[in-house]
Structure 1
């Protein structure tokens, strides 16, 4: 079955993975890898929520 282009949901998993990696790298450079990982996780979750809200508004 084919879906319309506007009804295909967006995915934010790649943004979450990228933010975790970037956060960890920044944390290592600053000497706090765990804090960088947590910061990246927080930023990734915010990006996921934004993507979900945009997708919900787009589908209506």
Structure 2
């Protein structure tokens, strides 16, 4: 019997969540664009951490 293939975690949702949360928080502070950019950076960092953890 063949061994099951390991499932890969999706990091894209972390990027999208970072963008949305950054936009919402930035909008509350009157700075939507910096909020989106900061949220994007945090989302990418989280997705990269997930990728590195998943590679092991």
TM-score (norm 1): 0.82
- What is aligned with 2:15? 16
Q: CA deviation at 1:3?
A: 2.9
Higher share in helix? 1
Residue in structure 2 matched with residue 39 of structure 1 by the alignment? 38
- Map Cα deviations across residues 4-60 of structure 1 (whole Å, 9 max, x no partner): 4xx221111111111100000000000100000000000000011001001101xxx
Aligned-pair RMSD on alpha carbons? 1.7
Runs of 4+ aligned residues of structure 1 deviating over 6 Å after TM superposition are none
| Matched pairs, number | 55
Unaligned ranges ≥5, structure 2: none
Partner of 2:55: 56
Alpha-carbon distance in structure 1 between the residues aligned to 2:23 and 2:15: 12
Structure 1: give runs of 5+ residues left out of the alignment.
none
CA distance in structure 2 between the partners assigned to 1:8 and 1:18 by the alignment: 21
TM-score under structure 2 normalisation? 0.87
